[in-house]
Amino acid sequence: MIRVRDLMKTDVATIPPETSVADLVAFLDERAITGAPVVDADEALVGIVSVRDVLHLAREMGEVPEAMRWGMARSAPPQESGFLDPPVEGEFFAYYVTPGGGFVDVRSRIQEVPDTLFDGYRVADIMSTNPVMIPPEASIQDLARLLREKKIHRVLVVDTGHLVGIVTTSDILDHLADS
């Protein structure tokens, strides 16, 4: 039986809570990911942050329109049949649909927002403090149910209170495609 430990990535890009939001945007862009666990100076898990959190902040400041829907696509133009909510990392790029029906690539939209817009904001201000977690011994079925129930695409893998990995929808799809 396939377990979460068999799918998870153990080389997890983490970010400290005191990081500025502008630096967070650069961090996510450099690594071509849409989210990361937040760890304190003692490497204790304190939350999770994503591009979506940055967009929520920018939207509150009037810089990004209310998104009707999130989605994902490979390299072809986005199509309605490919929608998932929220975006995932990996070889996919994330986009959202504006109220007028236009598609906007999330990463390019975030890069257009002036760095000074986020002055004074830190990762701690926008992160989720209740990340969804799963143990490494959980089955792939338990993982799939959790992703579906929570309507998310990444789960932190925690063993005895320590972050040991991350697993995403893309990891499950890769496993299924390769088996």
Question: What's the rounded mean pLDDT across residues 34-59?
Answer: 86
- What's the predicted TM-score (pTM) here? 0.70
For residue range 104-152, list pLDDT tens digits in order: 565 555 656 666 777 889 999 999 999 999 999 999 999 999 998 988 8
DSSP string, 32-57: T-SEEEEE-TT--EEEEEEHHHHHHH
Structural domains for the chain: 4-178 (3.10.580.10)
Q: Between 108 and 17, where is the model more confident?
A: 17
Reading the block at residue 175, the tokens are 């496993």
For residue range 61-113, list pLDDT tens digits in order: 765 544 434 444 333 333 333 333 344 433 334 555 555 656 556 555 565 66
